[in-house]
Amino acid sequence: MPTILIKNAEIITMNEKEEVFIGDILIENDRIKAIGKEVSAQGIDKVIDARNRTVIPGFIQTHIHLCQTLFRGKADDLELMDWLKKRIWPLEAAHDEESIYYSALLGIGELIQSGTTSIVDMETVHHTDYAIQAIAESGIRALTGKVMMDKGQEVPERLQEKTSESIQQSVDLLEKWHMYDNGRIQYAFSPRFVVSCTEELLREVGHLSSHYNVNVHTHASENRGEIAIVEHETGMRNIAYLEHIGLANERLILAHCIWLDENEKRIIKEKGVKVSHCPGSNMKLASGIAEIPHLLEQNISVSLGADGAPCNNNLDMFNEMRLAALIQKSVHGPTSMDARTVFKMATIGGAKAMGMAHEIGSIEVGKKADLAILNLQDFHSFPSYGVDPISRIVYSASKSDVETTIINGRVVMENRIIKTMDKHTVLQEANIAIGRLSKRITTLI
């Protein structure tokens, strides 16, 4: 991999001291080799002149469904259980190998273009190999896994799995892909949510997660109807049940966590469970507003994710950061969620959730080179004089300000051109694929 020198950038490090200064970053292979006011080195292959540019740690989104990107705009204005049963499950059931591949590339293209360098991704029941192939080719960093669903009502036949098969297929994918490309891709067991999974499956996932030392990624306490189903079936609230069956630990990443009682918050805190907050999705699916200031007060790990394209309908971290701040202010007052807190959730907070804070999430010597270079020289983000750079990014900047994205020391986008895929082909194939899926399902969408 070439040696890259980024010169004269405003660097927002997000290191312990949260230092911001103008200087240079030297990247050698996949890592940051040096940072300073002026860095010089020999044998540099590429110099990026970043005068008047801002370099930030790449965003880390801890809840994404790449397999759903093709469904953007196909499932608007519905609540969670209807959204799943009427639209998302039939569409996921209709997926084929090629449609999964292009759905993933479409999503990754959008993520890279908007400065996201790492994701925690949940695929569907079938063809996950093809999504991971797209992840492998695109250069994005991902913790990913096939969704597991061995129970539930109104689930299309094609998504209904036998417990043992779901587990075997997950283990096969793990053994094939976990730690691929020097750890850029990692596997996470991904039971969909308690409503979709038997106790037997969830208990086995707990054992396997401990055996392989990998994460478990699931949805929990997103919607009041979902919680009512769990309570009816188990006699317990959602998080209490997850604890009861042995899943509540520091490897568990829970998307949403909107409706928690005090006991569930205690479990999350004491067991070190990670919460992925998805404000755009939570509002669009009318799920509710998560009590994030309260969770942060208790030192619970909270990070951000856009969720899937059909419940957002973008995968843009700038949008998620803005919403994360504004929704809390509207309920809890102007200081309840400031720009710095949100920016931490979007960067180092995501790294902590992935168990990778020693590798990513900040710009520091020795860490992986996962960065976004922003051009904030425009009407919408001026004036800059005397303005906190983090305020500019969270409240004024937008995805089109991302000029260059580097992941694992590789320039995956430069001057807004994605280098690891052909945009025209991906857009064209995405349309062809969703056309094919729409014909395949009987539900009128």
Which residues of this chain interact with ligand GUN, rule CB under 6 A?
Answer: 65, 80, 84, 88, 192-193, 219, 222, 281, 307-308, 311
CB of 269 to ligand GUN, least distance (A): 23
The stretch among 30-38, 287-295, 299-307, 389-397 that binds Fe ion (CB under 5 A) is: 299-307
Of 57 and 107, CB closest to ligand GUN: 107
Of 30 and 264, CB closest to ligand GUN: 264
Picking from 279, 356, 359, the residue whose alpha carbon sits closest to that of residue 317 is: 279
CB of 147 to ligand GUN, least distance (A): 8
Contacted entry of ligand GUN, Fe ion, none for residue 88, CB cut-off 5 to 8 Å set by kind: ligand GUN
CA atoms within a 13 Å half-sphere pointing along the CA-CB vector of 205: 36
Contacted entry of Fe ion, ligand GUN, none for residue 192, CB cut-off 5 to 8 Å set by kind: ligand GUN
Of 107 and 308, CB closest to ligand GUN: 308
CB of 139 to ligand GUN, least distance (A): 25
Q: Are the CB atoms for 304 and 324 separated by under 8 Å?
A: yes
Residue facing ligand GUN at closest CB distance: 219
CB of 262 to Fe ion, least distance (A): 25
Of 11 and 148, CB closest to ligand GUN: 148
Of 128 and 281, CB closest to ligand GUN: 281
- Please pick, from the candidates 307, 316, 359, 403, the single residue that binds Fe ion as defined by CB under 5 A: 307
CB of 278 to Fe ion, least distance (A): 7
- What 338-341 contacts at long range (C-beta under 8 Å, 24+ apart), as own/partner pairs, is 339/388, 339/390, 339/391, 339/393, 339/394, 339/395, 340/18, 340/390, 341/296
d(CA 31, CA 358): 12
CB of 341 to Fe ion, least distance (A): 23
Contacted entry of ligand GUN, Fe ion, none for residue 12, CB cut-off 5 to 8 Å set by kind: none
Of 260 and 418, CB closest to Fe ion: 260
Of 75 and 372, CB closest to ligand GUN: 75
Residue 316 found at the interface with Fe ion (CB under 5 A): no
Residue facing Fe ion at closest CB distance: 307
- H helices of 139-258, in order, are 163-177, 180-183, 199-212, 224-234, 238-244
Please count the residues of this chain forming the interface with Fe ion, following the rule CB under 5 A: 1
d(CA 34, CA 54): 17
Q: Are the CB atoms for 275 and 268 separated by under 8 Å?
A: yes
CB of 350 to Fe ion, least distance (A): 16
Contacted entry of ligand GUN, Fe ion, none for residue 204, CB cut-off 5 to 8 Å set by kind: none
Residue 425, classified by CB atoms within 10 Å of its CB into exposed (0-12), middle (13-18) or buried (19+), is: exposed
DSSP H or E stretch at residue 261: none
CB of 232 to ligand GUN, least distance (A): 17
Picking from 113, 124, 121, the residue whose alpha carbon sits closest to that of residue 88 is: 124
Which residues, other chains included, contact 266 with Cβ-Cβ below 8 Å and sequence gap of 6+?
none
Of 153 and 415, CB closest to ligand GUN: 153
CB of 308 to Fe ion, least distance (A): 6
Of 81 and 387, CB closest to Fe ion: 81
CB of 154 to ligand GUN, least distance (A): 13
d(CA 406, CA 115): 9
d(CA 377, CA 392): 11
Residue 366, classified by CB atoms within 10 Å of its CB into exposed (0-12), middle (13-18) or buried (19+), is: exposed
Of 71 and 102, CB closest to ligand GUN: 71
Contacted entry of ligand GUN, Fe ion, none for residue 123, CB cut-off 5 to 8 Å set by kind: none
Tell me whether strands 20-28 and 31-36 are parallel, antiparallel or unpaired.
Answer: antiparallel
Q: What is the DSSP letter of 75?
A: S
Contacted entry of ligand GUN, Fe ion, none for residue 201, CB cut-off 5 to 8 Å set by kind: none
d(CA 379, CA 338): 23
The DSSP annotation for 365-421 comes to TTSB--EEEE---SGGG---TT--HHHIIIII--GGGEEEEEETTEEEEETTEESSS
- The pair of three-digit structure tokens given for residue 128, joined into one six-digit string: 């996950």
Residue 127, classified by CB atoms within 10 Å of its CB into exposed (0-12), middle (13-18) or buried (19+), is: buried
- Residue ranges that bind Fe ion, judged by CB under 5 A: 307
